């Protein structure tokens, strides 16, 4: 029974629906960039001097980024 439970749980981890997948956010990799944005068209990204990158919210937070003030 434990093995069956373990198999069901592990299959859930690998076959999880898209709604449970990591949220994508957008960042600018410019010199003074400190924020992440929920949409690529966010007003806070309008002055980005580099390419805009899509990353996971977890990765953006690990990079020290905080939510853009226009997104609150």
Give me the tens of pLDDT residue by residue for the chain, a chain 72 residues long.
666 555 555 555 555 555 456 899 999 999 999 999 999 999 999 999 999 999 999 999 999 999 999 886
Handedness of CA 38, 40, 41, 45 (dihedral sign): positive
The answer as to whether 33 is a domain residue is yes
Q: What is the pLDDT of residue 71?
A: 80
The boundaries of the domain holding residue 51 are 19-71
pLDDT at 58: 96
What is the value of pTM for the model shown? 0.69
Cβ of 1: how many Cβ atoms within 10 Å?
5
Structure token digits, residue 17: 């629906």
Tally the domains of the chain.
1
Does any domain span residue 36?
Answer: yes
Residue 10 lies in a domain: no
């Amino acid at each position: 029974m434990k093995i069956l439970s373990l198999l069901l749980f592990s299959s859930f981890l690998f076959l999880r629906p898209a709604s449970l997948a990591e949220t994508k956010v957008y960042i600018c990799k410019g010199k003074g960039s400190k924020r992440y944005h929920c949409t690529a068209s966010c007003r806070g990204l309008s002055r980005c001097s580099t390419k805009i990158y899509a990353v996971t919210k977890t990765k953006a937070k690990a990079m020290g980024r905080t939510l853009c003030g226009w997104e609150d």
